[in-house]
Amino acid sequence: MITKLLHTRMRVNNLDETIRFYRDVLGLEVTERHRSPRGSELAFLRVPNSDEEIELCSFPASGAVQVPEDLVHLAFEVDNLDRTIAQLKAKGIPLTDGPTTSSSGGRFCFIDAPDKYEIELIERPRSNRA
């Protein structure tokens, strides 16, 4: 029945600030930006090496976005966690947890995106990389 996951939608308070975070901090590419027929401001972001996109939606008429802790997070693979952490620190982005080594030998850490959406950054063990 389902053939592919196309995108994940996240409502945000400040579309421009959130786009800057995903573009400038994480390196995602904005592929489309427009207003929906009902008045939402939408932006689609391409994730490197993935067919799935992230859809950001700003719709102030729905009220402020308040993301409960541990409700949802996005996980991204990185080549080198230490280098990624250094780049984040240089951009003023603090870690909220980690780095941690998993039982499989992978490593991960967490940061917060605008509106407190949690981002997990994962370095897979060398033996598990394609």
Cα 82 versus chain centre, distance = 18
The mean pLDDT value for 57-86 works out to 90
Give the model confidence (pLDDT) of 96-116 as tens digits: 999 999 988 899 999 999 998
C-alpha 119/C-alpha 60 separation (Å) is 23
What are the backbone angles phi and psi of residue 82, rounded to the nearest 5°? -60, -45
Cα 26 versus chain centre, distance = 7
C-alpha 10/C-alpha 55 separation (Å) is 6
Indicate the average pLDDT of the chain.
Answer: 91
Q: Please, what are the domains in the chain?
A: 1-61 (3.10.180.10), 69-130 (3.10.180.10)
> What is the sign, positive or negative, of the torsion defined by CA atoms of 13, 49, 86, 71?
positive
Question: Which residue, chain included where needed, has tokens 């780049």?
Answer: 87
pLDDT of residue 129: 52
Supply the pTM of this predicted model: 0.86
